[in-house]
Amino acid sequence: QLQLVESGGGLVQPGGSLRLSCTASSGTLDDYAIGWFRQAPGKEREGVASISRTGHTPLYADSVWGRATISRDNANRTVSLQITGLKPDDTGTYYCGARQALIGTMEARDFGSWGQGTQVTVSS
């Protein structure tokens, strides 16, 4: 059974950078597209970025366009999300999910095996 764990969150100042990791604590990521989503207080979970099984066709939300990079390393059972130029609006709990398909999407309902999330707070 695939189990995912998010890590790398924390408190950062505006303009800073973070690299979040989504790791398969059991199972393997090889057969899944992986998506990163975030949820701020009072808001629904929204897509941030996704990546295909092969590492191609990355998708990014408009809110992080030009600031985010998603990558995968199947050998290390990890998908990473790097965000630069962090803004207060980037604050939220970040989750990764798996989709048993070649191509990722930006819809939370397309994904499962969610991790527990990692908190990102952008504030001075």
Question: What is the average pLDDT score of the chain?
Answer: 96
Give the bridge partners for 7, in sequence order: 21
| pLDDT the model gives residue 69 | 98
Measure CA of the first residue to CA of the last residue in the chain; give whole Å.
40
| pLDDT the model gives residue 122 | 98
| pLDDT the model gives residue 75 | 84
Could you give phi then psi for residue 30, rounded to 5 degrees?
Answer: -55, -35
| pLDDT the model gives residue 107 | 97
Q: Which residues of the chain have pLDDT under 50?
A: none
